[in-house]
Amino acid sequence: MGAGHGHHLHFHGHSPVHHLPAHLKLLALVGFVLTVVLTPRTAFAAYAVYLLLVLVAQRASRVPFGYFAKRMVVEVPFVLFALLMPFVATGPRVDVGPLRLSEHGLVGGFALLAKGTLGVMASLVLATTTEPRHVVAGLERLRLPGQLVQIMGFMVRYLEVVTGELSRMKVARESRGFRATSVRAWPVLATTAGALFIRSYERGERVHLAMLSRGYTGSLPVTHPATATPAQWRVAGMLPAAALATLLVVVTR
């Protein structure tokens, strides 16, 4: 829910993680998260290892941890949901201090929190080290349907242009003494949204005209397909491979 960030989605750098092709990072992310999701909820040791692994990947990216941690606030609504679990889940109860909590809910809440947090951290390693346009190219390489690739490409291309328009509209509102403090501000903010829609739609039309003018017929020409070396495959494979090995050790013991 909390989409409170603007456009500084990626942290510029030259670490080995930054240099991996985006499609490999996406595959590694999916592999790692799938392993985490499939882990039994009481395998506490496995979760500790996963946390260590994702922290190693994070440090390898040389993105400051403070920046990384701040971006984790997207998780907050579901942290609240997970914290409710011990109170509302069914099954036998245990006494924790003054509270009577559901045992099942405690374990379930822990698992939700652990899996969700690891998912967010792993996704952030991708997000902080990969330029948005490269994520789009990576998804294209992974055979996301062409239309969706194009739509996402345009969204990413104009992200800064439109957030720029939005902040200029905010400056214009505030220069005339407007402050959004209560429900009475809604009509003004909704008008801003309306104006933003008109601007976005008109830009979409102008972009379309510019594309047609240069011979667009519905699909983008692919001129430089992304490639990856075996060494890059090995580097990207380390995180999911280590996670999978952990899972296998835990399950077979």
Partner 1 sequence: MTTPVLEVRGLAYAYPDGHQALFGVNLHVHQGERVALLGPNGAGKTTLVLHLNGILTAGAGSVSVSGLPVTEPNLMEVRRRVGVVFQDPDDQLFMPSVRADVEFGPANLGLRGAALEARVVAALDQVGMLDFIDRPPHHLSFGQRRRVAVATVLAMEPEILVLDEPSSNLDPASRRELADIIRSLDVTVLMVTHDLPYAYELCPRSVVLSDGVVVADGTTREVLTDDALMSAHRLELPFGFDPRTIPTP
Partner 2 sequence: MHVPDGFLDAPTSIGAAVVAASGVALALRGARRELDDRTAPLAGLVALFIFSTQMLNFPIAAGTSGHLLGGALAAVLVGPCTATLSITVVLLVQATLMADGGITALGTNITLMGLVGVWTGWLVFIALRRVLPKRPLWVVPAAAVAALVSVPTAALAFSLLFDVGGTVDVPFATVATTMVGIHTLIGIGEAVITALAVLSIVVVRPDLVHGARPSLERRTLTIREGVSA
Residues of span 67-106 touching partner 2 by CB under 8 A: 71-72, 74-75, 77-78, 85, 88-91, 104-105
Report the nearest approach of partner 2 to the CB of residue 162 (Å).
5
Report the nearest approach of partner 1 to the CB of residue 222 (Å).
9
Distance CA 46, CA 104 (A): 19
Contact partner, 249, from partner 2, partner 1, none, Cβ < 5-8 Å per class: none
Total binding residues toward partner 1, as defined by CB under 8 A: 27
Is residue 154 near partner 1 by the rule CB under 8 A?
Answer: yes
Is residue 217 near partner 1 by the rule CB under 8 A?
Answer: yes
Residues 107-126 that bind partner 2 (CB under 8 A): 108-109, 111-112, 114-116, 118-121, 123-124, 126
Distance CA 153, CA 135 (A): 9
* DSSP H/E element including 94: strand 93-96
CB burial string 198-223: b at 16+ within 10 A, e below: eeeeeeeeeeeeeeeeeeeeeeeeee
How many whole angstroms from its chain centre is CA 1? Answer: 12
* Six-digit token string for 91: 């099954």
Distance CA 220, CA 169 (A): 33
The neighbouring-strand residues paired with 96 are 99
* Six-digit token string for 251: 């399950």
Is residue 153 near partner 1 by the rule CB under 8 A?
Answer: yes
Is residue 157 near partner 1 by the rule CB under 8 A?
Answer: yes
Residue of 203, 233, 237, 244 interacting with partner 2 (CB under 8 A): 203
Cβ-based neighbour number of residue 120 at 10 Å: 18
Is residue 5 near partner 2 by the rule CB under 8 A?
Answer: yes
Distance CA 74, CA 183 (A): 24
Contact partner, 196, from partner 2, partner 1, none, Cβ < 5-8 Å per class: partner 2
User: Which spans of this chain sit near partner 1 (rule: CB under 8 A)?
Assistant: 131, 133, 136-137, 153-154, 156-158, 160-161, 203, 206-207, 209-217, 220-221, 223-224
